[in-house]
């Protein structure tokens, strides 16, 4: 962990809000790294207060803005330093940001802000960051192609490695989906989110969680106390 942006990413992995971090000028900064820490082996900041050496890579700018020989306005100086570092971190993290990345973030923001409904906003939070990323990538692909069955199948089988998806040949717009996980309130909420994001209203879905429905002739699905009648 060398740069301020690295500290931010590591903190976010621990589910700590970026806006909750406070950047301050290091009292005894190191000339070799941007973040001032006693233990160089730390993978993330231990506290929300992150000490920074402003001269490490921004000396031309910060050397004049935060001249240690200038006294007074201590609180204003601290607040301004924090704002500047947050802005610089944002710039660092946006370097190399592609159009695809921008669309991912915009779609994620729309979901969290309730543009897809209050239920969807709450259910989206039940997926971890990696899962959310895959859902967004698949959803954007769905918007391009319009092939909802393919993209729905892709996201379900990625999130649930043991999942199986069947189309009912006797009835149109009917799917049978086995997930291979315990039937819990959280899993029902997660599956409802996927259904709402990827499938049209007329598509009916029967979810099977822990137990597969029995299929005559397929022994793996006909175990005693392990099959569901459908």
Q: Which residue would you say has higher pLDDT here, 31 or 167?
A: 167
Q: pTM for the full model?
A: 0.58
Report, as an integer, the average pLDDT of 206-216: 74
pLDDT on residue 214: 54
Judge if 22 and 59 occupy the same domain. yes
| Domain boundary residue, one of 94, 125, 144 | 94
In this predicted structure, what is the pLDDT of residue 218? Answer: 42
* Domain-terminating residue out of 64, 94, 124: 94
Same domain? 129 vs 33: no
Domain count, the chain: 2
Mean pLDDT of the chain: 83
pLDDT tens sequence across 83-121? 988 998 888 887 766 778 788 888 999 999 999 999 999
Predicted confidence at residue 222, as pLDDT, reads 43
Task: Tell me, yes or no, whether 26 and 106 share the same domain.
Answer: no
Please check whether residue 44 is in contact with residue 14, taking contact to mean a CB–CB distance below 8 angstroms: yes
- pLDDT category of residue 38 using cuts at 50, 70 and 90: low
Tokens 């969807």 belong to residue? 120
The residue whose two tokens read 């997926």 is 127
Running DSSP on this structure, what letter comes out for residue 216? T
Query: Rounded to whole angstroms, how far apart are CA atoms 170 and 84?
Result: 63
**Calpha distance 17→48 (Å, rounded):** 9
Given pLDDT bands bounded at 50, 70 and 90, which one contains residue 215? low
Q: State which H helix or E strand residue 11 sits in.
A: helix 4-13
Residue 41 Ramachandran class (φ > 0 left, ψ -120 to 50 alpha, else beta): alpha
- The pLDDT tens digits of the residues spanning 134-185 come to 999 999 999 999 999 999 999 999 999 999 898 887 788 899 999 989 999 9
Are 48 and 104 found together in one domain? Answer: no
Same domain, 66 and 142: no
Same-domain pairing of 221 and 113:
yes
* Residue 117 CB coordination number (10 Å): 11
Please indicate, yes or no, whether residues 109 and 184 belong to a single structural domain of this protein: yes
User: Any residues with CB less than 8 A from the CB of 70 and at least 6 apart, and which?
Assistant: none
Domain containing residue 113: 99-228
Identify whether residues 120 and 61 lie together within a single domain: no
Q: Work out the average pLDDT over 190-219.
A: 82
């Amino acid at each position: 962990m060398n740069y301020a942006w690295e500290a931010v990413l590591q903190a976010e992995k621990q589910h700590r809000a970026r806006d909750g971090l406070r950047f301050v000028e290091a009292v005894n900064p190191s000339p070799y790294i941007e973040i001032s820490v006693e233990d160089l082996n730390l993978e993330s900041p231990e506290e929300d207060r992150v000490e920074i050496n402003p001269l490490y890579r921004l000396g031309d700018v910060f050397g004049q803005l935060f001249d240690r020989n200038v006294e007074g306005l201590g609180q204003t100086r601290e607040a301004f330093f924090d704002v500047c570092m947050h802005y610089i971190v944002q710039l660092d993290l946006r370097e190399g940001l592609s159009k695809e990345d921008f669309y991912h973030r915009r779609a994620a923001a729309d979901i969290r802000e309730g543009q897809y409904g209050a239920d969807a906003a709450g259910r989206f939070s039940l997926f971890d960051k990696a899962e959310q990323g895959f859902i967004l990538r698949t959803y954007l692909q769905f918007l391009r192609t319009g092939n909802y069955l393919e993209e729905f199948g892709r996201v379900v089988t990625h999130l649930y490695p043991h999942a199986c998806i069947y189309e009912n040949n006797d009835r149109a717009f009917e799917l049978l989906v086995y997930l291979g996980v315990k039937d819990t309130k959280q899993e029902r909420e997660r599956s409802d989110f996927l259904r709402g994001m990827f499938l049209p209203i007329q598509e009916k879905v029967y979810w099977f969680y822990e137990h597969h429905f029995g299929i005559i002739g397929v022994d793996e699905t006909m175990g005693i106390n392990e099959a569901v009648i459908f």
